[in-house]
Amino acid sequence: MGLDSATELLRHTFVLVLLVAAPVLLVGLLVGFVISLLQAATQVQDQTLSFIPKIVAMIACCIVLLPWMGQHLMEYARWVLSDGAIR
């Protein structure tokens, strides 16, 4: 494995991590923003009020997107274990 192959493997890995993690993080960001707006409007400043809905929404997002994430991870594993990554 040369330097070019290792660089390409790392690039594909980082892109896959960003692609798989982005929807879950985006859901957590949006839910956190909505909860923060509600907390600011009602002046209720409880930490668990923002933590619990974010965790529930992110877990639900993971469950819904699990087949899509699994498909991308399987394609990546197939690419790495075939002649595509190691030349």
Per-residue pLDDT of the chain (87 residues; tens, 9 = 90+): 788 888 888 999 999 999 999 999 999 999 999 999 998 898 887 777 888 999 999 999 999 999 999 999 999 999 888 876 665
Q: Which amino acid is at 3?
A: L
Q: In terms of DSSP H, where are the helices of 1-87?
A: 3-42, 47-81
For 54-67, b where at least 16 C-beta lie within 10 A, e where not — what string?
Answer: beebbeebeeeeee
Tokens of 80: 């790495």
Look up the pTM and report it: 0.79
Q: What is the pLDDT of residue 87?
A: 57
Q: What is the pLDDT of residue 6?
A: 83
Q: What is the pLDDT of residue 17?
A: 95
